[in-house]
């Protein structure tokens, strides 16, 4: 739960089960024990759905780190959406339109992952990015300590052209490092998206298949009209807003696959 009105009157945001820390002047919430996973929130910010997902990781035997990169922590996922997209577009930290470029904020996330590994130990670190931040988990894999990146509906660069739809939001140099790690079987990448999601186009996954080969595991959930689970074509957020927590539902299966992926790669035993 969240205490107080987030961001108003200086009230401190409290997420039950997590402690707030500072890392390089940004707030980070940490909870759980076991190997570290960096949970990179989606637009509009560190909303309750992202925190609920992190709690599932904690219950599965991991330490979840939740940095706040933009927006107001604790505020509903329905608030401030347009404003946060606009801020991201003008921020120097996010490469929202540039082709073949890694967003500068990834440098911070790589350092946070190294810090988390120092604190938690284990074979390495995992990460999940969502929507605007979806590709950041892949960019973090330049660091050898990143063993389990999950890309949930990766949305950058914004898919405004055919080239943008196929771009994965990494510089050529970073992509070459990630590709080399995949070729050496040091890295496996999991990607999630809904089939009709225009914000996270299929061409992006095609590029990842081509670049990473069998090291890219894609889970594309049918959201076409008439699909057997009634998933709307506008569905976008696989692990949060559009998650249907019901056995047998494809989004629940995706969530289970993410947790098993982390267990296999990072070695949690819960």
163-212 per-position pLDDT tens digit: 999 999 999 999 999 999 999 999 999 999 999 999 999 999 999 999 99
pLDDT of residue 9: 40
Tell whether 192 is covered by a domain. yes
Angle in degrees, CA 181, 68, 75, rounded to 5: 135
Confidence check: pLDDT of 269 > 80: no
Domain that holds residue 204: 21-266
Instruction: Give the pLDDT mean for 24-32.
Output: 97
Residue 74 and residue 21: Cα distance in Å, rounded?
Answer: 16
Per the prediction, the chain carries an average pLDDT of 93
Evaluate whether residue 108 is within a structural domain.
Answer: yes
Q: Mind listing the pLDDT tens digit for each residue in 67-101?
A: 999 989 998 877 777 777 777 777 889 999 999 99
Q: Where are the beta strands (DSSP E) in the chain?
A: 19-23, 26-32, 36-40, 63-67, 125-130, 146-152, 189-194, 216-221
- Please indicate, yes or no, if residue 41 is contained in any of the structural domains: yes
256, pLDDT greater than 80 = yes
Share of the chain above pLDDT 70, in %: 94
**CATH code at 250?**
3.40.50.1820
Express each pLDDT in 90-135 by its tens digit.
788 999 999 999 999 999 999 999 999 999 999 999 999 999 999 9
**Would residue 14 count as lying in a domain?**
no
**For position 6, what pLDDT does the model report?**
43
Q: How many separate domains does the chain show?
A: 1
Position 107 in a domain: yes
Whether 31 maps to a domain, the answer reads yes
| Residues 6+ away with beta carbon under 8 Å from 108 | 24, 26, 67
Q: Is the pLDDT of residue 29 over 80?
A: yes
Tell whether 1 is covered by a domain.
no
Alpha carbon 182 to its chain centroid, in Å, reads 19
In a domain, 2, yes or no: no
């Amino acid at each position: 739960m969240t205490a107080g009105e987030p961001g108003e009157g200086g009230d401190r945001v409290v997420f039950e089960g997590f402690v707030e820390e500072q890392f390089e002047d940004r707030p980070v919430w940490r909870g759980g024990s076991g190997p570290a996973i960096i949970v990179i929130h989606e637009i509009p910010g560190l909303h309750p759905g992202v925190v609920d997902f992190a709690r599932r990781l904690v219950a599965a035997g991991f330490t979840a780190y939740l940095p706040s990169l933009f927006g107001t922590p604790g505020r509903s996922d329905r608030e401030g959406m347009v404003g946060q997209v606009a801020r991201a577009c003008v921020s120097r930290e996010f490469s929202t339109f540039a082709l073949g470029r890694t967003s500068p904020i990834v440098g911070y996330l790589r350092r946070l992952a190294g810090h988390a590994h120092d604190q938690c130990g284990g074979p390495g670190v995992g990460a999940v990015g969502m929507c605007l931040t979806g590709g950041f988990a892949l960019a973090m894999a330049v660091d050898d300590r990143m063993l389990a990146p999950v890309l949930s509906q990766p949305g950058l660069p914004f898919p405004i052209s055919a080239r943008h739809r196929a771009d994965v939001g990494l510089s050529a140099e970073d992509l070459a490092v990630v590709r080399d790690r995949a070729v050496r079987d040091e890295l496996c990448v999991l990607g999630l998206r809904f089939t009709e999601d225009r914000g996270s186009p299929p061409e992006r996954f095609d590029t990842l298949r081509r670049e990473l080969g069998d090291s890219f595991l894609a889970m594309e959930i049918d959201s076409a009209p008439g699909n057997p689970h009634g998933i709307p074509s506008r569905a976008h957020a696989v692990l949060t807003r559009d998650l249907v927590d019901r056995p047998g539902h494809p989004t629940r299966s995706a969530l289970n696959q993410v947790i098993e992926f982390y267990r296999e790669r990072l070695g949690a035993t819960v």
